[in-house]
């Protein structure tokens, strides 16, 4: 499969991992073009049997994504601004609802839409040089790609209010302390650490990994009883898969399983 048609993205495919780099130097802002291409690529990768985990990062050393493209937004009328917000929302939902885990490798600044893009991923690993923030109030607007909602679910309501209402930036160590980042790495070890996590996940049954992701997400918006019922249903259904038989046979036979995603 060729990914040469994407003008704003660089793609490295080393099965079972796909690495995506947003490539709009020097700070990789999210334009309509970037959002459209990244959404399309996410759908492509979802259909690839070769890909089990997706790593998302920014090209260069300065930025993951410094924010949405302010030049594009400057003269937007309200209806166009809402459409732009919906476009970013669709990208976040596509990542969030993917059956494959997404890991944000935050290699520099992740402000505004960049922070929101990372929040849509399943894991956020940061370089020690990374910085995070939702500075939209400094521009007279609010986060539009899910920041007020996903950030609150990540770090709690009070801390979300503080970050969204002050527009303050925080460094990687503070992001780790409040739970915004899951790990912080020396800058030159970020992709090494993220790749190691991706490979640990990819070694497991892909149907089971996908079901874990779905259940954890769905369980956040329903009652505990309903979520437990969903878990029990999925547990039973997975016993009808070839991966379940292979995984348990491999355990009994003391060998590594060879999962096929079936």
Would residue 116 show up in a list of annotated catalytic residues for this protein?
yes
112: Cβ contacts below 8 Å, ≥ 6 apart: 66, 67, 68, 133, 134, 135, 136, 143, 147
Q: Which of 14, 44, 46, 136 is catalytic?
A: 136
Would residue 14 show up in a list of annotated catalytic residues for this protein?
no
Compute the distance between CA of residue 260 and CA of residue 243 in angstroms, rounded to an integer.
Answer: 7
In the chain the first and final C-alpha atoms are separated, in Å, by: 21
Q: Which of 116, 162, 211, 231 is catalytic?
A: 116
Which residues are known catalytic residues?
A: 116, 136
């Amino acid at each position: 499969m060729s990914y040469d048609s994407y003008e704003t993205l660089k793609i490295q495919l080393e099965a079972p991992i796909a690495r995506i780099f947003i490539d709009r130097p020097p700070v990789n802002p999210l334009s309509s073009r970037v959002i459209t291409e990244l959404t399309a690529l996410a759908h492509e990768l979802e259909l690839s049997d070769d890909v089990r985990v997706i790593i998302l990062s920014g090209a260069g050393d300065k930025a993951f994504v410094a924010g949405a493209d302010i030049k594009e937004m400057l003269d937007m009328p309200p209806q166009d601004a809402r459409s732009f917000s919906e476009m970013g929302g669709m990208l976040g939902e596509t990542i969030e609802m993917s059956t494959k885990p997404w890991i944000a490798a935050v290699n520099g600044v992740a402000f505004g839409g960049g922070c929101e893009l990372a929040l849509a991923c399943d894991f956020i690993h940061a370089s020690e040089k990374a910085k995070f923030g939702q500075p939209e109030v400094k521009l007279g607007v609010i986060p539009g790609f899910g920041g007020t909602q996903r950030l609150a679910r990540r770090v709690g309501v009070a801390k979300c209010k503080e970050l969204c209402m002050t527009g303050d930036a925080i460094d990687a160590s503070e992001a780790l302390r409040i739970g915004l980042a899951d790990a912080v790495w020396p800058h030159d070890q970020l992709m090494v650490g993220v790749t190691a996590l991706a490979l640990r996940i990819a070694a497991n049954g892909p149907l089971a990994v996908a079901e874990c992701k779905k259940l954890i997400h769905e369980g956040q918006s329903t009652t505990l009883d309903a979520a437990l019922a969903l878990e029990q249903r999925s547990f039973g259904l997975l016993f009808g898969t070839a991966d379940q038989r292979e995984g348990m046979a491999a355990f009994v036979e003391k060998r590594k399983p060879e999962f096929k995603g079936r």
